[in-house]
Structure formats: structure tokens, C-alpha cells
């Protein structure tokens, strides 16, 4: 399982951040060609991002590029430029139609074969930033095997919902629940949008705890200082890991002895509990047995 | 010419400086001679008031003449009025050709430029920065600037290498018989640590105060028997420039990342245990390192022994919390430190001699476990440059860099790998301020390079598992890869700056910049 607790946005026109973003230890980086870059700088940013990608120096990070929307003139040049560099995935903004994902899948396959990259390697992360996009979340997530995650929008989605930001983002409760549901139904990750106030660590923690509870696997971040907070929420505690190990070991032992039910610390443990324990170990970067994955 | 132990090719004599003692290694120069003394004097009970009406009266009474050496301390930092006022008065009195010997100069002393250009000041022995540094770098002085560390300066004074004719000591509080303190007064600056050697050794000592109190003054730091005259003035400085209001830990992610890496290294070493002593600067990265170390001390229940050097509110709070037993304060950076030194007996004022002079029976830096320092450049041999910028201009003093690096068990240099497009890890530094032999680790955002002569630290860091170890060569190559080749600095042959090591040998020289 690929950990996607944090994805750090790096403005595509800022060499300082593009070269250093991975050093802050996010699980992934998003080199941004879309909102961070002014219209007049699209070409320059694309070239800069390509050159940084060619260096390939991102540590263990999952490297994705947020391309310009499929309703703009830039998206084809964007993918033709960045996909041959061997990135892990692209992030498509404002996805509304499963057909667009199928179209993108085809375009990516062509570029991959031409660049002699294994076809299917480039994953797709869908940003659902309109009511229609969120409504079609499941179909979008199933539109290509490349889709790795679906993510709700923030401000764009609020605008499309004809509402504004409230203190606890109540206006996004519904969309977030829908996306979590659709993602798990389709077998992809649900990754949350950014928390905009970069100085409010307490607010970030609250929101992250809440989306984790809804079933999200991670959250995009716009500032390196947000990474430790989000990781802290999404990383199981030592106590949780210990408990999960016990449960998984007991289940394995029971299975070996042909027993169905297991007892851990005097309590009966059934299948969903074992499944959750396995997931806890995966999130901690450990295999079922507790050794490093 | 001689190639010294830092690999620098240095002339055997330098015009305006004299004969050079070459740097042979950080502990290779044995001390010589005896402590130099000032002339004896007597003040009988017929003269029970040392005050004089103004600076000019004090200058006359001190016997100051053209060509002499005058000294100042920098405890009033960028709020200081005294240096400019004294030199203005000298100029008006027709005194010329002065050697000024400050513990440091600040931006506010840009005012001196005109006195340098018209010959009132012939030489500066002390740190130069900003416009005066630029002027020196472009050849604005007839003789070279001499840079000494905070320990090297009292060594030069106590050994008689530099004879101070008149020391002008800005005193936030004084009584009329010359007892001085920085702990109280409207221009309070806390410690007067850098002024002590000047008070003890100058041929004549003039205190300048804006808070004349009844005899005897409170919290006496420099006692009456060193002070010849007291001049009350309207203001010795601007409190806003003397102390900063608050000390806040940076939120700049890159600085925090570098600080985190440094803290991980500290926590990995055997020095991180009960009794640890610690010094950092007040700058962004240094303070953030202190913040991480404080967290780790709390988590692991570690109690330190002392915090040293320039003291900030952060260290004061750590002492209040019980994370340090005492503070040894040569310079108080902010209001909280000023207040603490006046009130808390565990917050001890120390002189620069006590702090860092290599030629005494043992200075405070020798008892230091860990120091975190900055750099403008570091090189493959771990040499550190703090004096010159990438364009070759001499814009910074040495401070306590050489001293704490030589004294501490663990010397950590923190620096970004690049500043803008300028590499900070290079093949060979432009100026050697502190030799690599006393530097243990260089910490950047791209990783931590431990000096190969400290295999024990490398092993400890490996064992800890979370220190991102790299080699110095890797850092240099990474920087080169990111910036491309740099155009070398173009200079004339003339030497405009002499960098002394703390033992009085010459470790490097700075040459005049070629006109563009």
C-alpha cells in the first residue's frame, strides 16, 4: 500500500520549492502547473517543471504534476512534456465527466508507449471541484484503472455550491462524505483538499482528524509546516500498532490451528477487527507480521 | 609568503599590520609573556567626583591625541549613540589619525564614513559591516582592518598586542565615582561583558552615561577603581535599537528543516544528557535549534547545566523552567535577558576574557558541550567563512565563532545549501574565519555532513537512525549541480583585511575588490 498521508503542492514557477519540497518529508509532491502559475507564465513553468523532473531527485516521494484542466488549451502540452519524465501520476483539476478520464487514459498510453515507459504506469488523481464532479465521483473513479484517488475541491466547490466558507467547513460535509463513499466503493483512495490557513495548526489538526474519521487516507498540504501535523493524525500511535500486531498475530495463529474465532486480551476478535488491524499496520509502514514493508 | 595550516598563502609582513605570525593549527601557538598592565594612578580623597561636563572635556582630560587608539563596546548594538558622538567630538577638536578598536560596529555607525574619508579615523580594528565594510573592501582605508574574535580581542588587549589609550564605555547607569552597570537605566543593555578588558587595561577609562545615580550605583559590573572620568549625556542610545522586544521562533520551513536536522544530530550524540551546556545565536536557525532541543530535553527529562554567550528570552525561559541551572551572559539580546540579569543571581555576567580568551587559565567556551553557529560559506575541509560574502566584500565580524568552535565538544554549523543562487558549500571558502579542524558537523536542508575526524559522531548518528547523513563532498557537488560554476571574485593585490585567529596568528587575509 502506498502511503498518501500528505501531498505537498509546489508552485511550478518556484525553483526554490521545486528543488527542496521533498526534503520536508511529505509522502508525495504535486508540482503545480495550474492555479499557482499565472497565464503568462504557463510555458516557462512547464519547462522548469520538466527540467526539475528530469533531475529525478525527489527521495521516496510519489511525484505527481497538477496539469491544467481538460477544458483549457494547455493540458495536452502539459502531459506531453511531463509524462515522458517518468512521473508517478497526474492530477487533473475540475473533473466532471468519466469520458474525460477515458480520453486521458488513452492519451497517456500513447505518450507512454512513445516514451518507452510501461503503459499504465502514470496514475490519475481526480480533483472533483464541482457539484457535478462530486455527483459522478464513483463513475469517475471507475473510468480508468489508472485512477488512484479522488479528491474534493475547496474554494471552487464552494463557489459551485453557491455558498461560502464557514468556520468548520460545514458546506463541504456532504461532498466529503460522498467522495469517501465513492472512493471506497471504487477501490481508490480518498484524499482531502488543503487547509488554507497555514498558521493555524490547531484548525488543521481538527479538520484532519475529522476527514480521517470520514475515511480519507490523506490530505494535500500547501505549506511544509503542515506536514508533521497531518502525519501525526494519519500515523497510528505506538499503542495502536502494538494492539494491531497482537490481533494480526492471534488471527494468524488461529487460522493455522484451523480455528475461526480468536480471543485477544479476553475479547473476541472477528474478521472486520482483524482487517482493521492489518490496515493499521499498513499505515504504519509495516506488513501484517509487523516487519518493515 | 608562507602557506599556513589553513592552506592560505599569506605574506610574512603586511603593510599597516606588520609582521605576521602564521596560523599553525588551532592549539599550536603557546602563550607568551605576561599580562600587560595599565599605568598606575592614584585618586586621593580630595577628588570625590569624577564627572566632567561633556565629551570634549573628557577627551581633553584623557590626554587623547592624534594617532592614538580608542575603544568602544557594542552592547548598545544598533541603538548606540556613543561611538559617533565621541568621534564627532574628536573631529571638532582637530584630533586625527585615530585607530578605533570597537568590539563590533553596527549599521548606525555608517556615520563614521565621513571621518574615515577625511582622516579622523585611520584604522578600524574590529568587525566592520554594511557601508563601512563595503568601503573597506573597496580600499577606503590606508591600512587594513584587523578582525579578531570575541576571545581574540581580549587576548590582544591582555597580552599588550593592542594598547588602548582611551576606552569610552557607554554605561546605562553610573555613579559620579565611576561604578558602572548595564543592568538598569533607561538604556539598559544587561551584561557589559565586552567592556571589561577595556576597563581593566586601557590607559584611561571614560564612562559615558545617561543615568547618573547617587553613589554607589546598584548592580555594579565595572567598579570605580577602573574608571577615570564620568560624562553624563542626554542619551547614550535608542532603546529600540539596543534590545529587541521579543524573540520568536521562525516559521520559515527551510530554516525549521535545517534546525530539525541539527537537533536530531545533537540528540544522537553522547553530549545530550543531564548537565549538557549549550550555546546558540539569536538568529532564525539557531533559535529554532534551541526550540527543538528544549522539546527533546522536556521529553527525555534532561536538565542542562548552563547556557552561554549572547542570552535571549528563550534561554531565560529555559532557566526558569529548570532546563538550565545557570546562564553565563556576555551579551544580553533582549529585554527579558536584561531584566533577568538584574534580578536573578543564577544569571551571571561574564567578561569576554572569561568567555573566550584562549590565553588565560581557562575560559567558559572550554566547558561548552554544544554550540550551533552560522556561516556564509563552508568548504570540503569544513573551513568556515563568516567574514566575506560571495562577492568578496568583508561585511561581517567573527564574533565568538572561532572561540566557541574551538572550545565546544560538538560544533555544529547550520547553513542553507544555497542562498538564492549562491552556493554555501564550496570547494574552498573565500576567507577562512574558523578552521575546519575545530568544526564537527555542517547541517543543511540537504543533509548533515559530519567531519570525518569525528568517527564517533558518525557512528552515533548512524545508530540513532534519523540523522540524514551525507558527506561534505556530496553537499558541495549538490550545490555545484544546482547553481553551476561561479565567476571568481576579482581582486587587487592589496590586503584590506587581516583575519586573526583567536591566538593572534593570521589565519587569512582579505584583498581589495577590483573596481567594476
Give pLDDT tens digits for B38-81: 999 888 888 899 999 999 999 999 999 999 999 999 999 999 99
Same domain, A108 and A250: no
Determine the pLDDT at residue A291: 58
What's the pLDDT at A167? 85
User: Which tens digit of pLDDT belongs to each residue from B74-89?
Assistant: 999 999 999 999 999 9
- Grid coordinates representing B252 are 520559515
Strand B173-175 versus strand B212-213 pairing type: parallel
pTM of the model: 0.91
Which of B253, B444, B468 to mutate to probe the A interface, most A CBs <10 Å?
Answer: B253
- For residue A29, what pLDDT is reported? 98
Residue A289 lies in a domain: no
SS3 B506: strand
Say yes or no: B251 contacts chain A, CB-CB below 8 A.
Answer: yes
A185 lies in the same domain as A274: no
* A224/B257 Cβ within 8 A: yes
Least reliable range by pLDDT among A65-79, A255-269, B247-261, B341-355:
A255-269
**Which residue out of A23, A223, A229 would a mutagenesis test of the B interface target, given it has the greatest number of B Cβ atoms within 10 Å?**
A23
Interface of A with B (CB under 8 A): 19-20, 23-24, 199, 223-225
- C-alpha cell belonging to residue A259: 480455528
Return the pLDDT at A292.
55
Place of cell 547541517: B443
Task: Using the 3D structure, point to which of A194, A211, A234 is the last residue of a domain.
Answer: A234
Interface contacts (A, B; CB < 8 Å): 17
Whether B445 and chain A come into contact, CB under 8 Å, resolves to yes
CA distance A95 to chain B (A): 32
Percentage of the residues of chain A whose pLDDT score is greater than 70: 98
Cβ–Cβ contact B482 with A under 8 A:
yes
> Closest partner residue to B253 among A19, A199, A223, by Cβ?
A223
CA angle B141, B142, B146 (to 5 degrees): 65
pLDDT of residue A259: 78
Q: Are residues A227 and A266 in the same domain?
A: no
- The CATH number given to whatever domain includes residue A93 is 3.20.20.60
Within a 10 A sphere around the Cβ of B32, how many other Cβ atoms? 8
Which residues of A fall within a CB distance of 8 Å from B251? Answer: 199, 225
Rounded average pLDDT over B451-461? 98
The partner residues of B10 in beta bridges, in order of sequence, read B2
Query: Residue B245: its pLDDT value, please?
Result: 57
Question: Is A91 part of a structural domain of the chain?
Answer: yes
Segment B374-390 shows an average pLDDT of 96
Task: Report chain A residues whose CB lies below 8 A from the CB of B445.
Answer: 20, 23
Judge whether B295 is closer than 8 Å to chain A, CB to CB.
no
Asked whether the predicted pLDDT for residue A253 surpasses 90, the reply is no
Q: Please check whether residue A1 lies inside any domain of the structure.
A: no
In a domain, A54, yes or no: yes
Type and span of the H or E element at A180: helix A173-186
Under a CB-based contact definition with an 8 Å cutoff, are residues B340 and B347 in contact?
yes
Average pLDDT over residues A223-242: 94
Q: Do A254 and A229 reside in the same domain of the chain?
A: no
Pick from B251, B256, B445: CB nearest A20? B445
Pair (A167, A251) in one structural domain: no
Integer Cα distance of A269 and A273 in angstroms: 6
Bridge-partner residues for A127, per DSSP?
A151
Residues A123, A255, single domain; the answer is no
Taking an 8 Å cut-off on Cβ atoms, the answer to whether B254 and A20 are in contact is: yes
Distance set, CA A245 to CA A3, A278, B285, B438, B490 (Å): 19, 8, 40, 47, 65
B-chain CB neighbours of A19 within 8 Å are 482
**pLDDT-based confidence at A254, cuts 50/70/90?**
confident
pLDDT for A261 equals 73
How distant is the Cα of A172 from the closest Cα of chain B, in angstroms?
A: 29
Find the closest chain B residue to A19 by CA distance: B482
H or E element, residue B100 = strand B98-102
Q: Is B253 on the interface with A (CB under 8 A)?
A: yes
A24 and B253 in contact by Cβ < 8 A? yes
Name residues whose C-beta falls within 8 Å of residue A252's C-beta, 6 or more positions apart in sequence.
A288, A289
In tens, the pLDDT along A71-124 reads 999 999 999 999 999 999 999 999 999 999 999 999 999 999 999 999 999 999
pLDDT exceeds 80 at position B117: yes
Each residue of B304-363: pLDDT tens digit?
A: 999 999 999 999 999 999 999 999 999 999 999 999 999 999 999 999 999 999 999 999
Average pLDDT over residues B8-35: 97
Q: Is there a single domain that holds both residue A44 and residue A99?
A: yes
Interface test with B, best of A8, A20, A204 (most B CBs within 10 A): A20
What is the predicted pLDDT for the residue at A287? 63
Mean pLDDT for chain B? 95
Give the closest-approach CA distance of B301 to chain A in angstroms.
20
Contacts of A223 in chain B (CB under 8 A): 253
The answer to whether residue A61 sits within a structural domain is yes
**Does residue A85 form part of some domain?**
yes
Cα–Cα distance between B240 and B247 in angstroms, integer? 14
Looking at the domain assignment, is residue A77 inside a domain?
A: yes
pLDDT at B230 over 70: yes
Residues A198 and A272 in one domain: no
Please state the ipTM of this predicted complex: 0.82
Extract the runs of DSSP E, i.e. beta strands, from A67-203.
89-92, 123-128, 147-152, 189-192
Tell me the mean pLDDT in the region B183-201: 97
Alpha helix segments (H runs only) across B127-178? 130-137, 152-158
Among candidate residues A150, A154, A145, A146, the one with its CA nearest the CA of residue A178: A150
In a domain, A135, yes or no: yes
Cell of B49: 567626583
* Contact (CB<8Å) A224/B482: no
**Contact list, B446 vs chain A (CB under 8 Å):** 23
Could you list the residue range(s) of the whole structural domain that residue A271 is in? 238-283
Give the distance from residue A112's alpha carbon to the nearest chain B alpha carbon, in angstroms. 29
Indicate whether B515 pLDDT > 60: yes
The shortest C-alpha distance from B257 to chain A (Å) reads: 7
Both A208 and A63 in a single domain? yes
A contacts of B482 (beta carbons < 8 Å): 19
Q: How many domains does one find in chain A?
A: 2
- In degrees, rounded to 5, the angle at the alpha carbon of residue B133 between the alpha carbons of residues B130 and B137 is 135
Distance CA B413, CA B378 (A): 9
* A289 pLDDT tier (thresholds 50, 70, 90): low
Report the candidate in B214, B227, B232, B235 with the shortest Cα–Cα distance to residue B54. B232
Q: Residue B485 pLDDT more than 90? A: no
Nearest to A19 among B256, B257, B482 (CB): B482
Class of domain B253-489: alpha beta
Amino acid at each position: 500500500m502506498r502511503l498518501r498521508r500528505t501531498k505537498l503542492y509546489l508552485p511550478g514557477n518556484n525553483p526554490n520549492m521545486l528543488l527542496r519540497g521533498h526534503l520536508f518529508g511529505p509522502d508525495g509532491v504535486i508540482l503545480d502547473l495550474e492555479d499557482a502559475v499565472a497565464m503568462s507564465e504557463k510555458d516557462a513553468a512547464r519547462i522548469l517543471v520538466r527540467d526539475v523532473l528530469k533531475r529525478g531527485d525527489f527521495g521516496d516521494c510519489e511525484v505527481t504534476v497538477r496539469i491544467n484542466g481538460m477544458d483549457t488549451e494547455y493540458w495536452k502540452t502539459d502531459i506531453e512534456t511531463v509524462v515522458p519524465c517518468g512521473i508517478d501520476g497526474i492530477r487533473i483539476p475540475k473533473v466532471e465527466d468519466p469520458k474525460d478520464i477515458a480520453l486521458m487514459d488513452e492519451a497517456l498510453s500513447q505518450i507512454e508507449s512513445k516514451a518507452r515507459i510501461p503503459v499504465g504506469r502514470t496514475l490519475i488523481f481526480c480533483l472533483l471541484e464541482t457539484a457535478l464532479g462530486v455527483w459522478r465521483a464513483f463513475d469517475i473513479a471507475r473510468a480508468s484503472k489508472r485512477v488512484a484517488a479522488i479528491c474534493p475541491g475547496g474554494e471552487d466547490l464552494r463557489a459551485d455550491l453557491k455558498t461560502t466558507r464557514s468556520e468548520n467547513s460545514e458546506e463541504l460535509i456532504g461532498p466529503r462524505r460522498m467522495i469517501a463513499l465513492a472512493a471506497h466503493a471504487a477501490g481508490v483512495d480518498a484524499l482531502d483538499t488543503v487547509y488554507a490557513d497555514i498558521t493555524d495548526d490547531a484548525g488543521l489538526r481538527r479538520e484532519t482528524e475529522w476527514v480521517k474519521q470520514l475515511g480519507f487516507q490523506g490530505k494535500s498540504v500547501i505549506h511544509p509546516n503542515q506536514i508533521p501535523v497531518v502525519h501525526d493524525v494519519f500515523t497510528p500511535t505506538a499503542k495502536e500498532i502494538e494492539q494491531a500486531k497482537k490481533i494480526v498475530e492471534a488471527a494468524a495463529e488461529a487460522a493455522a490451528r484451523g480455528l475461526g474465532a480468536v480471543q485477544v486480551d479476553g475479547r473476541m476478535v472477528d474478521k472486520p477487527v482483524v482487517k482493521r488491524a492489518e490496515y493499521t499496520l499498513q499505515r504504519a509502514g509495516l506488513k501484517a507480521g509487523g516487519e518493515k514493508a | 609568503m608562507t602557506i599556513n595550516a589553513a592552506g592560505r598563502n599569506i605574506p610574512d609582513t603586511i603593510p599597516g599590520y606588520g609582521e605576521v605570525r602564521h596560523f599553525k593549527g588551532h592549539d599550536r601557538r603557546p602563550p607568551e609573556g605576561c599580562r600587560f598592565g595599565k599605568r598606575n594612578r592614584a585618586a586621593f580623597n580630595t577628588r570625590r567626583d569624577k564627572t566632567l561636563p561633556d565629551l570634549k572635556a573628557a577627551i581633553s582630560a584623557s590626554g587623547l591625541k592624534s594617532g592614538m587608539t580608542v575603544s568602544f563596546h557594542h552592547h548598545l548594538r544598533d541603538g548606540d549613540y556613543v561611538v559617533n558622538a565621541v568621534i564627532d567630538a574628536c573631529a571638532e577638536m582637530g584630533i586625527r589619525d585615530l585607530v578605533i578598536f570597537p568590539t563590533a560596529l553596527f549599521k548606525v555607525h555608517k556615520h563614521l564614513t565621513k571621518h574615515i574619508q577625511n582622516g579622523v579615523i585611520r584604522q578600524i580594528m574590529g568587525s566592520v559591516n554594511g557601508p563601512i565594510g563595503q568601503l573597506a573592501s573597496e580600499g577606503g582605508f590606508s591600512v587594513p582592518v584587523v578582525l579578531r574574535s570575541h576571545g581574540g580581542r581580549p587576548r590582544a588587549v591582555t597580552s599588550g598586542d593592542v594598547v588602548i589609550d582611551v576606552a569610552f564605555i557607554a554605561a546605562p547607569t553610573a555613579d559620579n565615582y565611576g561604578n558602572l552597570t548595564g543592568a538598569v537605566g533607561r538604556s539598559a543593555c544587561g551584561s557589559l561583558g565586552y567592556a571589561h578588558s577595556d576597563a581593566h587595561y586601557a590607559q584611561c577609562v571614560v564612562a559615558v552615561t545617561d543615568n547618573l545615580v547617587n553613589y554607589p550605583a546598584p548592580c555594579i559590573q565595572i567598579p570605580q577603581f577602573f574608571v577615570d572620568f564620568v560624562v553624563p549625556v542626554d542619551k547614550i542610545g535608542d532603546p529600540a535599537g539596543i534590545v529587541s522586544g521579543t524573540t520568536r521562533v521562525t516559521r520559515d520551513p527551510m530554516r525549521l528543516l535545517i534546525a530539525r536536522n541539527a537537533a536530531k544530530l545533537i540528540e544522537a550524540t553522547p553530549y545530550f544528557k543531564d548537565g549538557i551546556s549549550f550555546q546558540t545565536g539569536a538568529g532564525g536557525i539557531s533559535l529554532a535549534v534551541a526550540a527543538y532541543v528544549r522539546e527533546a530535553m522536556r521529553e527525555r527529562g534532561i536538565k542542562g547545566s548552563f547556557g552561554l554567550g549572547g542570552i535571549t528570552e528563550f534561554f531565560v525561559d529555559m532557566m526558569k523552567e529548570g532546563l538550565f541551572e545557570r546562564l553565563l551572559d556576555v551579551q544580553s539580546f533582549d529585554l527579558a535577558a536584561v531584566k533577568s540579569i538584574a534580578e536573578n543571581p543564577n544569571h551571571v555576567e561574564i567578561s569576554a576574557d572569561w568567555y573566550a580568551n584562549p590565553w588565560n587559565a581557562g575560559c567558559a567556551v572550554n566547558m561548552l558541550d554544544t554550540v550551533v553557529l552560522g556561516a556564509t560559506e563552508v568548504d570540503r575541509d569544513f573551513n568556515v567563512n563568516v567574514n566575506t560574502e560571495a562577492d568578496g566584500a568583508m561585511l561581517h565580524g567573527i564574533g565568538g565563532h572561532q572561540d566557541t568552535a574551538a572550545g565546544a565538544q560538538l560544533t555544529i554549523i547550520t547553513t542553507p545549501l544555497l542562498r538564492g543562487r549562491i552556493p554555501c558549500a564550496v570547494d574552498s571558502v573565500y576567507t577562512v574565519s574558523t578552521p575546519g579542524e575545530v568544526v564537527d558537523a555542517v547541517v543543511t536542508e540537504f543533509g548533515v555532513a559530519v567531519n570525518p575526524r569525528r568517527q564517533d559522531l558518525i557512528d552515533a548518528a548512524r545508530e540513532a537512525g534519523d540523522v540524514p547523513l551525507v558527506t561534505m563532498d556530496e553537499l558541495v557537488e549538490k550545490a555545484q549541480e544546482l547553481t553551476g560554476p561561479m565567476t571568481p571574485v576579482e581582486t587587487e593585490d592589496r590586503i584590506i583585511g587581516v583575519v586573526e585567529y583567536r591566538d593572534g596568528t593570521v589565519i587569512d587575509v582579505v584583498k581589495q575588490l577590483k573596481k567594476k
